[in-house]
Amino acid sequence: MPTRRIFLQQSTLAATSLLAGPLLSRTPTAKYKTVLIGSGWWGLNILREGLRTRAITVVGLCDADQNQLKKCRAEVDKLCNDRPKQYTDFRECLRQEQPDIAIIATPDHWHALPAIAALRGGAHVFLEKPIGHTVKEGTAILQAARATQKICIVDFHRRYAPHNVSANQFLRDGKVGKIHQVKAFVHYNWGEGTKEPDSTPPEGLDWDLYCGPAPLVPYHSGIHPRGFRQYAAFANGQIGDWGPHWFDQMLWWTEEKMPRRIYSTKKSGIRNSNADCPEEQLAVFEFEDFICTWEHSITNARPESRTENVGIYFYGTTGTLHLGWQKGWTFFPADNNKEIIQVAAQLDEPDQQNIALVWKDLLYCIANKKTPHADIEHGKYATDMALLANISADMGRSLHWDANADTILNDEAANKKLRRAYRAPWVYPE
């Protein structure tokens, strides 16, 4: 058998109509008043790319943590001459500044209320994924976007990344053949972990406001800053963090809206950690024409893999396509005599993302009253898959999902988990 030669390709932005034309060539003609709600490292990444468009003016920074605000403001001062006011309460920020664009980059449990308030206040929204902490939060955000006719774009920067775009086209052109199975996965090894003792919140952090509608749990440094994703009060673990990205890539490819049946199982309590989200999780999503599986681990990075430790496999009749992150995508033909095709990634810094293209789409769609490529509806479906898997794992049984009715069929107990009680005085969005 001959040695398989690897064929390298370099994708470009001009390769598809999606990323060509006015999206890339538009010169800013307006200065949109913009606020950032959630001023941590990722919110700053989003804001930084917005400033580079020269189409926004930063008028407000908002965070429950004054320490985060201080760092963010210092960086903004380096990037521009704007003098944004600083707020701890998003309601006051929105009321005082009346922004044209609101960036929501808070922990997941704080996505819904600020996003809906911003939309109803007349702003377009740049929303970080996952769009909500519970399914019905996402429903409420989508309804608010449609009712106000404002744009709510989701930070699915992988929808815009050149290698993701070319991979999607490769799939749609039928070059992988008929696809009957898809596998999304994220594998890391975070070590044994360390339990953080409960402590007094640092000066400048309003812990009650940080918790907001979530339970008022004791503070410790493993939650904030940046550790919240492994705590069920504030997020939904690895599947809630990474899952929406890869599920969205699959939903972008298929013509099916959502799976009809979901089953998931999980394993927790493996590491020495305060975190309560599963370290190991498997999920199966049954679509009409194919099966999708999810698996994640934070105890084993799967070093035997031929590709990256994150991504999504499309298993077709003519071969397998792995769509990854830092290494682009690779097609392994079923015929060993055919060459492997590899397309390199083109990623922006910092953090190897493509947020700049999300901004270009948002600005173009605002100016031309268009629906963005990463519309809130896409965000809801991809987020729902992750959240429904967690409900299945919690309930210990399969769920039959009706996407059109936004409900779990014949399971009253599971349907109650589509929302959760908010801590007073916060009220669940409708």
Q: Taking the domains of the chain in order of start, what are their residue ranges? A: 17-157+357-373, 159-349+380-418
| β-sheet with 32-37: strand ranges across | 85-87, 56-62, 32-37, 101-104, 124-127, 152-154
The neighbour count for residue 59, using CB atoms within 10 Å, is 21
Structure confidence at residue 7 (pLDDT): 40
User: Which DSSP helix (H) or strand (E) runs through 51?
Assistant: helix 41-52
Which fold, 17-157+357-373? Rossmann fold (3.40.50)
How far is the first Cα of the chain from the last one, in angstroms, to the nearest whole number? 62
3-state SS assignment for residue 131: coil
Residue 206 to residue 87: CA distance in whole angstroms: 12
**Preceding omega of 28 cis (within 30 degrees of 0):** no
pLDDT (tens, 9 = 90+) of the chain, 430 residues, equals 333 444 444 433 333 444 444 333 344 555 999 999 999 999 999 999 999 999 999 999 999 999 999 999 999 999 999 999 999 999 999 999 999 999 999 999 999 999 999 999 999 999 999 999 999 999 999 999 999 999 999 999 999 999 999 999 999 999 999 999 999 999 999 999 989 999 999 999 999 999 999 999 999 999 999 899 999 999 999 999 999 999 999 999 999 999 999 999 999 999 999 999 999 999 999 999 999 999 999 999 999 988 999 999 999 999 999 999 999 999 999 999 999 999 999 999 888 999 999 999 999 999 999 999 999 999 999 999 999 999 999 999 999 999 999 999 999 999 999 999 999 999 999 8
User: Which DSSP helix (H) or strand (E) runs through 321?
Assistant: strand 319-323
Name every residue whose Cβ is closer than 8 Å to that of residue 261 and which is 6 or more positions away in sequence: 285, 286, 398, 399, 400, 401
Residue type at position 28:
P
Place of tokens 């201080």: 70
Q: Mind giving me the DSSP string for 200-267?
A: PPPTTB-HHHHHTTS--PPP-TTTTTTTGGG-TTT--HHHHHTHHHHHHHHHHHSS--S-SEEEEEEE
Tell the CATH superfamily of the 159-349+380-418 domain. Dihydrodipicolinate Reductase; domain 2 (3.30.360.10)
Structure confidence at residue 30 (pLDDT): 57
Predicted model pTM? 0.94
Per CATH, 17-157+357-373 and 159-349+380-418 having the same topology is answered no
Structure confidence at residue 257 (pLDDT): 96
Instruction: Return left, alpha or beta for 401; rule: phi > 0 is left, psi -120 to 50 is alpha, else beta.
Output: beta
Q: What is the dihedral of CA 127, 245, 309, 262, to 10 degrees?
A: 130
Structure confidence at residue 38 (pLDDT): 98
Dihedral sign computed on CA atoms, order 78, 83, 85, 91? negative
